Amino acid sequence: MPREVPRARRIAEQVQRSLSQLLLREVRDPRLKPMTITHVKVSPDLTHIWVLYTLLSGATVDELQQEILDEAAVYLRGPLGRALRLRLAPQLHFAHDAELERGNRLDDLIGRAVRDDRARHVDDVPAGDDDAHYDSSADEAEGGRP
C-alpha cells in the first residue's frame, strides 16, 4: 500500500475548503444543485486532484450535475491553483461519492436482518411454557435447596 504524503494530505484539506468556496462563487450555473465535498484525494506529485461529492438533495447519481462539474473543472483549475499557491494548477476530476448510499443500504440490510431474527426467535419460544426460564426466587420461597 502506498504511503500517504503529508503535504498531499494538507493540500487535500485546503482544496476541500477552497473548492467549496469557489463552487459557490465562480460556478453560476442555475442547474447546479447544492452539494457537499465529502473527500479529496491528491496525487503525490500534486498534478491531479480527485474530488468526491454528494448532492444534498438526496438524489443518487445525476448525470447533469456530473457534466456541469466536469465543465467547471476546466475553469476552476486556475483560481484553485492561485488559492493554493501552487506552481502548476492541478487537474480536477469530480466523481459522485457512493459511500453514503452504500452505508445507508448496509444499515437497512442490517436492520432488516435484526428484525427478521427477532421475529424468528419470538416464534421459537412456545407460549405459556414456564419451564423455559429458570426462576431462582421460586427456590428461595420453598426454603431450601433443590
- Residues 82-121: pLDDT tens digits? 888 888 889 999 999 888 778 888 999 999 999 988 888 8
Whether residue 48 contacts residue 80, with contact meaning beta carbons closer than 8 Å, is answered with: no
* 140 vs 54: which has the higher pLDDT: 54
Range of the domain at 51: 6-97
- Answer whether residue 72 is part of any domain: yes
Helix axes 63-84, 6-26, angle to 10 degrees: 120
> What pLDDT is recorded for position 46?
86
Q: What is the C-alpha end-to-end distance of the chain, expressed in Å? A: 63
**Whole-angstrom distance, CA of residue 24 vs CA of residue 19:** 9
CATH of the domain at 89: 3.30.300.20
Query: Which pLDDT score is estimated for 37?
Result: 92
Identify whether 80 is part of a domain: yes
Cα three-residue angle 133-135-140, rounded to 5 degrees: 165
Q: Residue 19 — pLDDT band, cuts 50, 70, 90?
A: very high
Output the average pLDDT for the chain. 82
Higher pLDDT, 14 or 127: 14
Grid cell locating 137: 426466587
pTM greater than 0.85 (yes/no) = no
Band of pLDDT at residue 133, cut at 50, 70 and 90: low
Assigned domain for 125 exists: no
How many separate domains does the chain show? 1
- Classify residue 87: in a domain, yes or no: yes
pLDDT for residue 103: 83
CA angle 9, 76, 22 (to 5 degrees): 75
Mean pLDDT over residues 20-49, rounded? 89
Indicate whether 60 belongs to any domain.
yes
